[in-house]
Amino acid sequence: MKCDLIVGIQWGDEGKGKIVDLMAQNYDVVCRYQGGHNAGHTIVVGDKTLALHLIPSGVLNPNAINIIGNGVVISPEALIEEMQQFGGLVGRLFISDKAHMILEYHILIDQARERLRGAKAIGTTGRGIGPAYGSKIERSGHRIGELRDTQKLAHSLVEYFETYKAIFEAMDIKIPNFDEMKSTLDVYAKALSPYIEDTTSLVWKSLDEEKRVLLEGAQGTLLDIDHGTYPFVTSSSTISAGACIGLGLSPKDIGNVTGIVKAYCTRVGNGPFPTEDLGNDGKILGKNGHEFGTTTGRPRRCGWFDAVAVKYASRINGCDQLSLMKLDVLDGFDKVKICTAYEIEGKRVETLPQSLENIKPIYEEFDGWNGSRGVDKYEDLPQNAKDYVKKIEEVTGTKVGLISTGPDRSETIIL
Ligand code: GDP
Ligand code: IMO
Ligand code: MG
């Protein structure tokens, strides 16, 4: 058996949560492989809305088990809080003993660094993501499995704080003493112990037993640490390849890849965004799409569909198809636009350059439409909306397998 994979194609918030929830009904295992509680995945079922940050979006399928892989950085505090809204996840949620922890000091460092960066701030979610991955890479991090011996872990942390005392003081960060650290870790250990597992073996076993496994990406391709708009990115490998590292899979374990993409484009946080519309159209997209961050509540920057970036993202992830989300948000525009190339220093460019600064988007314009909201059959879409979808397939070189016309499960067209 191979795993199927869902990945964000733009700057996150494409609607991954809706699709994973929808697809999870047909899977036995749903796994997160990177990111942390910077993610915010909204799921709407009838009149209920759920925001998930760390727990995989398959949690609403009572028959599926959910895995938080080693590539995820876990704030035990955030996870414990999120778990409280679901009664009894024992046996349905497994946390990799190899996943690194986000502790209070990572969050404080993240926020202090953002303050110190001033006008050059990345606009992080302030959840400690960068410092936690930093600790992992520089080999001073701590893994969830270490909660099995909180005495030893508290000693190790206090020793680390002592060594770097001057740096913590310079950032105005209060460091905990041994007793404080130990009692915090004991709370985490008590709450999380029943869920800590060798998830690498668990995923392998699931595949050996022919279970259907779905992998859920967080963030999006343009926020990838290597392939995104560095340094205005998150600190993990958000692309499909990240799933191998973040779960202990081989590339041969990955089967079908679905890229999740909005019918327009948004970004939250700072950094270049070639198709951003700072005028009225951007405002309308934000208003109609309710574009406010699920995690931080910040307004998202809005603009037109960037086919150059999507084509790049589709190739890098190996997308078999795209799920085209929020088509309904384009209802009511006289004209809609797709950026099919960039102008850089007077030259036409159709590939994604290393830097997205100082780019002029070259647009193609199309007639708009009305009435796509809630449509669940392709035949019922307005002709101009159908033409827009066809154009997206043409310019990105990737077929569209699903069109989403509203947040609810039922507001979906499967092609
Ligand atoms: P994720 O981070 O990729 O899971 O996406 P978010 O949940 O952060 O943001 C997507 C938002 O769009 C959520 O509020 C969804 O409920 C909503 N949404 C998803 N699909 C559609 C759609 O087709 N139309 C509309 N209008 N909203 C949608
Ligand atoms: P989901 O999974 C959108 C952005 C932040 C910031 C940058 C770095 O819901 O799509 P970080 O806190 O990760 O160090 O911030 O990444 N960012 C997201 N933007 N959706 C997300 O997740 C994001 N997670 C991080 O806004 O620009
Ligand atoms: Mg989100």
Say what the pLDDT of residue 390 is.
98
Q: Which atom of ligand 1 is nearest to the CA of 289?
A: 26
Q: Assign 3-class secondary structure to 341-403.
A: EEEECCEEECCCCCCCCCCEEEEEEEECCCCCCCCCCHHHCCHHHHHHHHHHHHHHCCCEEEE
Q: Ligand 1 atom 13: the closest Cα is on which residue? A: 42
User: Cα separation of 215 and 202, whole Å?
Assistant: 14
Per-residue pLDDT reduced to its tens digit, 84-93? 999 889 999 9
> With the C-alpha atoms ordered 102, 103, 106, 110, is the resulting torsion angle positive or negative?
positive
**What are 194's two structure tokens?**
């029943």
User: How close is the Cα of 42 to the center of ligand 1, in Å?
Assistant: 6
Across 89-114, b (16+ Cβ under 10 Å) vs e yields: beebbbbbbbbbbbbbbbbbbbbbbb
- CATH placement of domain 100-194: 1.10.300.10
Q: Euclidean distance between the first and final Cα of the chain, in Å?
A: 24
Place of tokens 């190739």: 315
Say what the pLDDT of residue 296 is.
82
Q: Ligand 2 atom 15: the closest Cα is on which residue? A: 124
User: How close is the Cα of 290 to the center of ligand 1, in Å?
Assistant: 9
Say what the pLDDT of residue 346 is.
95
What are φ and ψ of residue 95, in 5° steps?
Answer: -115, 130
Contact 262, 326 (CB under 8 A): yes
Contact 75, 142 (CB under 8 A): no
**What are 215's two structure tokens?**
């992998």
The alpha carbon torsion through 329, 15, 237, 306 (nearest 10 deg) reads: -20
Contact 8, 217 (CB under 8 A): yes
Q: Ligand 1 atom 2: the closest Cα is on which residue? A: 13
Where in the chain are the domains?
Answer: 3-74+200-414, 100-194
Q: Which atom of ligand 2 is nearest to the CA of 40?
A: 9
User: How close is the Cα of 219 to the center of ligand 3, in Å?
Assistant: 7
Residue of 223, 232, 270 to mutate, ligand 2, most atoms within 8 A of C-beta: 223
Q: Assign 3-class secondary structure to 315-343.
A: HHHCCCEEEEECHHHHCCCCEEEEEEEEE
- Taking ligand 3, which is a single-atom ion, which protein residues have CB atoms under 5 Å away? 13, 40, 294
Contact 271, 311 (CB under 8 A): no
Identify each DSSP E strand in 187-306 by its residue range: 196-197, 213-216, 254-262, 265-267, 301-303, 305-306
User: Cα separation of 183 and 3, whole Å?
Assistant: 39
**What are 304's two structure tokens?**
């037109």
* Closest listed ligand to the CA of 266: 2
**CA angle, corner 260, sides to 96 and 76, nearest 5?**
25
User: How close is the Cα of 304 to the center of ligand 2, in Å?
Assistant: 19
Q: Which atom of ligand 1 is nearest to the CA of 42?
A: 7
Q: Ligand 1 atom 8: the closest Cα is on which residue? A: 13
Per-residue pLDDT reduced to its tens digit, 241-267? 999 999 999 999 999 999 999 999 999
Q: Ligand 2 atom 26: the closest Cα is on which residue? A: 269
300 lines ligand 1 (CB under 6 A): no
Q: Ligand 1 atom 20: the closest Cα is on which residue? A: 407
14 lines ligand 1 (CB under 6 A): yes
Say what the pLDDT of residue 88 is.
82
**What are 200's two structure tokens?**
């690498």
DSSP state string for 118-163:
GGG-----SSSHHHHHHHHHTT---BGGGGG-HHHHHHHHHHHHHH
Residue of 13, 30, 375, 414 to mutate, ligand 1, most atoms within 8 A of C-beta: 13
Q: Ligand 1 atom 12: the closest Cα is on which residue? A: 15
Which protein residues are within 6 Å of ligand 2, measured from CB? 8, 11-13, 38-41, 122-125, 127, 129-130, 218-220, 223, 234-235, 268-269, 294
User: Which distant-in-sequence residues (6+ apart) come within 8 Å of 250 by Cβ?
Assistant: 244
Active site members: 13, 41
Place of tokens 């799409």: 289
Residue of 260, 326, 330, 413 to mutate, ligand 1, most atoms within 8 A of C-beta: 326
Neighbours of 125 (CB within 10 A): 23
Contact 249, 203 (CB under 8 A): yes
Domain 3-74+200-414 CATH (choose: 2.40.360.20, 3.40.50.720, 3.90.170.10, 3.40.50.1220): 3.90.170.10
Within the chain, which residues score under 70 in pLDDT? none
Pick the closest to residue 283 from 265, 301, 306 (CA basis): 301
**What are 113's two structure tokens?**
């660094």
